Amino acid sequence: MSVEMMAQVFKRYPVGGGEYVLALALADHAHEDGTHIFPGTESLAVKTRQSERTVQRQLVKMVNDGWLVLVRKGGAGRKDTTEYRINQEWLDGVEFDALPKIKGDILSPLSNGEKGDILSVKGDIAVSSKGDTAMSPESSITIKQPSDARAIPREQSIPEKPKPGSIVWDSERKIFSGIGEQQMQTWEAAYPKLDIDGELSRIELWYENNPKKRKRNLQRFITAWLARTFKDLRTPRVFVTKQPTPARPP
């Protein structure tokens, strides 16, 4: 527990709401220098009175905003949790908006590098086991595409990369990745009184169990699901009681 870190958040963290409460919870777990933050998502959800999905989304945003630094990606074990630290530049007085931004969801499944010191590479950002980031040089290798499209069989063709900001299916975590705060706010405004987080969990369960019925445009698919559920929520169900058939006279 670090009273100093919590005081810094109280004084300088610019975002309010649930993200502000999460920042306080992370500071509560930190050492006096802002390091060694590794609580589980479940415990953070309980402490901040939010769903685990909301906490995951806020953690991604904090890392992308540069306030939180990913030190080590956790494994599959229950005790092997992800470790963070608060950005030293922010602790030294750099304003929140001036922190270097990171694009992409760097909390998605990571692969170990050959030497074990690189946890992931997303675009031009490399996250090391010490929490440092480095810019990777542009590749000097030129890939020559075949002139004949038939040179690459259809079943061996390279899949199209998802567009930045699009929703994709994370088969390892079995969740939809890429759902931003703005998208959640749009759904919450369009479908009031609907538990968006709860519906997303049900959609993910259906999506995992129905691989042959999966859709390519996930944003359209999820929005259509929410619209149907919201319509059913607003439409009262009418139950008709079937009257018993009168007995025939003897």
Is pLDDT larger for residue 195 or for residue 115?
195
Beta strands in the chain (DSSP E): 68-72, 83-86, 118-122, 125-128, 133-135, 168-170, 175-177
Q: What is the largest CA-CA distance in the chain?
A: 97
pLDDT at residue 126, as a whole number? 38
- Taking residues 82-105, report their average pLDDT: 84
- Taking residues 91-101, report their average pLDDT: 87
pLDDT at residue 167, as a whole number? 87
CA 38 – CA 178 distance, rounded (Å) = 23
Read off the pLDDT band of 86 (50, 70, 90): very high
Query: Considering just the CA atoms, what is the radius of gyration of the chain in Å?
Result: 24
Q: What is the DSSP letter of 85?
A: E
Q: Output the 3-class SS for 174-202.
A: CEEECCCHHHHHHHHHHCCCCCHHHHHHH
Please work out, in degrees rounded to the nearest 5, the angle formed at the alpha carbon of residue 78 by the alpha carbons of 42 and 26: 40
- Taking residues 168-177, report their average pLDDT: 83
CA 52 – CA 136 distance, rounded (Å) = 33
47 closest CA partner among 31, 34, 28, 69 = 28
Amino acid at 40: G
Per-residue pLDDT of 68-83, as tens digits, reads: 999 888 765 545 678 8
169 closest CA partner among 203, 197, 198, 123 = 203
pLDDT at residue 237, as a whole number? 59
User: What percent of the chain clears pLDDT 70, i.e. is strictly above it?
Assistant: 66
Structural domains of the chain sorted by starting position, each given as residue range(s) with its CATH number in brackets? 3-135 (1.10.10.10), 162-234 (no CATH)
pLDDT at residue 130, as a whole number? 44
pTM recorded for the entire structure: 0.54
Please work out, in degrees rounded to the nearest 5, the angle formed at the alpha carbon of residue 220 by the alpha carbons of 214 and 223: 105
In angstroms, the Cα distances linking 89 to 98, 116, 225, 247 are 10, 26, 43, 86
Per-residue pLDDT of 10-63, as tens digits, reads: 999 988 888 999 999 999 999 988 898 888 888 898 999 988 888 888 898 899
Phi/psi-derived region of residue 4, left when phi > 0, alpha when psi is between -120 and 50, beta in every other case: alpha
Amino acid at 69: V
pLDDT at residue 103, as a whole number? 66
CA 156 – CA 75 distance, rounded (Å) = 31
Residue 239 burial (CB < 10 Å; 0-12/13-18/19+)?
Answer: exposed
